[in-house]
Structure formats: structure tokens, C-alpha cells
């Protein structure tokens, strides 16, 4: 009987040791304090397009009491139109259309276009008047936009993670 008790006691001790070790390992595996080292690489595109836009404004139609005031307004309007064209190229148009039909005849037909966006880094290439039209030419080098973006956001790709 003593031999049976000794064997039983040895088994219980082994089982307790196993449970202690297993509990310790499982707690260590679930620990939220794990040190790691992450290596990043910065992603660069292969090529950068250059977008161009032209804005026009009629000189004689501008509000103002003198030709100089009309010229200044036309300069502003043509520049804004060129920026709008750049925004259309970068962000696209939002179109809304509606048609009302009554008795198989179109009663009301409407189309609305909207552009919204932020243009940074564009350069005025030329600004000039030809006859009664003032023209502004803009250029948006996407490499410059990318560099401005990288300066703020710094997009990264995970290269390797090492756990300690």
C-alpha cells in the first residue's frame, strides 16, 4: 500500500509541476508586453505625370469702372478657372442630372456639375491677354505633389518585424 501511495504522490506532484509550467507559458504567450522591432521602407511611384490646365476670362465682361480694373478681375477669374480645371483632372466631376417628362414631351431638363478639391503645388506657367480674352496656364507636377505629401504623411511599407 505504501508503494501505491508513493507512486500516486509522485504522479500528483508531476501533474502539479506540469500545470504550473503550462500556466506560466500560456500567460507569457498572452502577455501584451512583447518587444518588437519593425523595419519600414518608403514607397515611391515609378513615374510622375505633369498635369496642365488653362483658364480663360473675357476682359470686356468683367465688372469695373476702368480697363485696369477689368484686367485685374480677368486675371483673377482666368487663374481660378485654370485651378478649377486642375481640380477636375485630379478629383473628377460630380454630376447631377434631372429630366421631367409630361405627355411624352420633355418639360424640364437640367444638368449640374460640381468640382471640389484641394490643389497644392501648382505653378503659373504663363499669364497673358490675347484680344479680349485673358489666359492663365497652370502646371501641376505630381512629383512635387508627392514630395509635399511625403513631407506630411510619410506612407510606409512594413519590411520586417522582429519579436524579442
Statement to judge: residues 118 and 75 lie in one domain: yes
Residue 42 belongs to a domain: no
| Residue 151 contacts residue 42 (beta carbons within 8 Å) | no
Model pTM score: 0.61
Statement to judge: residues 77 and 145 lie in one domain: yes
Statement to judge: residues 111 and 152 lie in one domain: yes
Statement to judge: residues 121 and 155 lie in one domain: yes
The per-residue pLDDT string of the chain (164 residues; one tens digit each, 9 = 90 and over) reads: 666 666 666 776 676 676 666 666 665 555 556 677 777 777 777 888 999 999 999 999 999 899 999 999 999 999 999 999 999 999 988 888 888 988 888 888 888 888 898 898 899 999 999 999 999 999 999 888 888 877 776 667 777 877 77
Residue 29 belongs to a domain: yes
Q: Is 115 exposed, middle or buried (0-12, 13-18, 19+ CB in 10 A)?
A: middle
Residue 146 belongs to a domain: yes
Q: Which domain does 109 fall in, by range?
A: 50-159
- Whole-number Cα distances in Å, 27 to 14, 46, 82, 129: 20, 47, 63, 77
Residue 40 belongs to a domain: no
Amino acid at each position: 500500500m505504501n508503494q501505491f501511495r508513493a507512486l500516486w504522490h509522485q504522479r500528483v506532484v508531476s501533474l502539479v509541476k506540469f500545470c504550473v509550467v503550462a500556466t506560466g507559458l500560456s500567460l507569457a504567450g498572452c502577455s501584451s508586453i512583447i518587444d518588437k522591432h519593425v523595419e519600414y521602407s518608403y514607397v515611391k511611384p515609378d513615374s510622375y505625370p505633369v498635369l496642365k490646365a488653362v483658364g480663360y476670362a473675357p476682359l470686356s465682361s468683367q465688372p469695373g469702372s476702368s480697363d485696369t480694373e477689368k484686367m485685374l478681375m480677368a486675371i483673377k477669374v482666368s487663374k481660378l478657372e485654370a485651378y478649377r480645371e486642375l481640380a477636375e483632372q485630379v478629383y473628377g466631376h460630380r454630376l447631377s442630372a434631372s429630366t421631367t417628362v409630361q405627355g411624352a414631351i420633355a418639360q424640364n431638363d437640367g444638368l449640374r456639375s460640381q468640382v471640389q478639391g484641394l490643389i497644392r503645388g501648382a505653378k503659373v506657367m504663363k499669364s497673358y491677354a490675347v484680344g479680349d480674352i485673358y489666359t492663365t496656364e497652370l502646371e501641376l507636377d505630381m512629383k512635387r505633389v508627392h514630395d509635399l505629401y511625403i513631407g506630411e504623411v510619410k506612407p510606409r511599407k512594413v519590411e520586417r518585424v522582429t519579436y524579442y
